[in-house]
Amino acid sequence: MMLPLAIGLLCARLGLAQVVINLHPPGYQYSEANAIANGVAAGGGILPDGTYSALKWTSLNASAVTALNQGTTGSWGFAMSNGVVVGPSWTATVHASAWDSNGNFFDLNPSFTAWSNAFSVSHPTAGQFVTAGIALYNDVFHAVVWPSTNPSTLIDLHPSGAGQSFAYGINDAGQVCGAVDNQAAFWNDYHDPTSYQNLHPVGASASVALGVAANGQVGGYAVFNGTEHAYLWDPAAGSAIDLHPTTATGDSEVLGIFSGGGGVIPVGFAFINGEQHAMLWFCAGGGLDLHPALPANYTFSWARGVWMDRDGTIYVAGGAGDASHTEAIVWVIAPDTNGDGCMDDTDLVAILLNFGLVGCSPYDLNGDGIVDDGDMLIALFNFGNGC
């Protein structure tokens, strides 16, 4: 049984998203951004002729985009690590695929099946990337990991006796998350399929783990009374927390997760007053609704990619639009303790007055669970921003 959460979410920032960047590429009728890090984003787009293509933005500019669709009918980008993008490509059937930092294409589909997909990628060592996803074994989906670009090196994570299994997330430590028979799943080491752990919460009718952070904490959702609740697990501590916002009027999910400085930053969506809104969670039952920062005509949004720079700035990637269009979006959230959009003396004094404070607070800028020198350094680095 999972215990009440004993882990640290990124502590609350009172400031709203300061900048919204529209990455929708010229000439595309649909786009979404699913991953972001170091000023580079990845996702997918659809051209007016119906061509689907994995996309990579080399900077946070709509025109700085490269289509990764090479020699296939279509492709999509679900995840990225160190410039490597993974996702599906297809001609007759869907194949797990990867594009390295130079854009070189790798078909990961093993010879024994006609169907596979890639959902996540990590870099455990320099020059190596590891891909997590699924492959079809005799009409049954198995969670799998590719430790190289050679399809034959595939590792089957499918638990003995299980029906379907899926691998949706992987981190650089080799920890994998996903689902087994509609219950959230975690593998502590992809080299050892027996390291599987069931994360399914008591009382839930279904659950799925969709992302695993560098520190091993896992985000996804669990279904209670027919409603999806954004959920966060710490498999090592045996703890979990329901992140479903108190203001939610429908489903919520954690679609992506990042850990930096000791805390975690889950992102996803929640239905607020009947609209799907991109969300970033800080504390239990709370979080930052990113949707109000968008133009008024946008009626839905979601967030899937998240990354925090060393200066404490958070970048969130996703999509937003209305009934007629969807566009790749990046939200940029600058460090700020009081929500006035300006890092100044007031913020420095607030950090000093709360120095040593443990727990969730707006003064813990790096999300490590304590107000200390690290937060002061972030404030000093950003001093004057937004003023």
Q: What is the dihedral of CA 80, 84, 85, 87, to 10 degrees?
A: -100
CA distance 19 to 179: 35
Kindly state the average pLDDT of the residues 342-367. 84
Closest by CA position to 64, among listed 81, 86, 42: 42
Residue 374: is its pLDDT beyond 90? Answer: no
Can you give the pLDDT at residue 261?
A: 59
* Structural domains in the chain, sorted by start: 3-333 (2.130.10.10), 343-387 (1.10.1330)
Kindly state the average pLDDT of the residues 281-310. 87
Q: How confident is the model at residue 283 (pLDDT cuts 50, 70, 90)?
A: low
Which residues, listed in sequence order, are joined to residue 98 by a DSSP beta bridge? 86, 106
Instruction: Look at 318 and 358; give whichever has higher pLDDT.
Output: 318
Residue 286: is its pLDDT beyond 90? Answer: no
Kindly state the tokens that stand for 31. 């786009």
Q: How confident is the model at residue 2 (pLDDT cuts 50, 70, 90)?
A: very low
What percentage of the chain reaches a pLDDT higher than 90? 72
pLDDT tens readout for residues 20-38 = 999 999 999 999 999 999 9
Quote the mean pLDDT of the chain.
91
Q: What share of the chain is helix, strand, coil (3-state, %, to 5)?
A: 5, 45, 45
Residue 18: is its pLDDT beyond 70? Answer: no
DSSP for 96-124, written as a single string = EEEE-TT--EEE---TT-S-EEEEEEEEE
Can you give the pLDDT at residue 258?
A: 93
Can you give the pLDDT at residue 8?
A: 43
* Amino acid letter, 170: I
Q: Angle between the 345-353 and 373-381 helix axes, to the nearest 10 degrees?
A: 180
Sheet holding 218-224, edge to edge: 3-4, 239-242, 227-234, 218-224, 206-212
DSSP conformation class of 25: P
Q: How confident is the model at residue 310 (pLDDT cuts 50, 70, 90)?
A: confident
Kindly state the average pLDDT of the residues 83-92. 96
3-state secondary structure 225-259: CCEEEEEEEECCCCEEEECCCCCCCCCEEEEEEEE
User: Whole-model pTM?
Assistant: 0.91
DSSP conformation class of 15: S
Kindly state the tokens that stand for 228. 């999806």
CA distance 72 to 56: 17
Closest by CA position to 178, among listed 155, 223, 145: 145
Q: How confident is the model at residue 312 (pLDDT cuts 50, 70, 90)?
A: confident
Can you give the pLDDT at residue 364?
A: 81
Instruction: Look at 260 and 384; give whichever has higher pLDDT.
Output: 384
Residue 6: is its pLDDT beyond 60? Answer: no
Can you give the pLDDT at residue 14?
A: 45
DSSP conformation class of 350: H
Q: How confident is the model at residue 339 (pLDDT cuts 50, 70, 90)?
A: confident
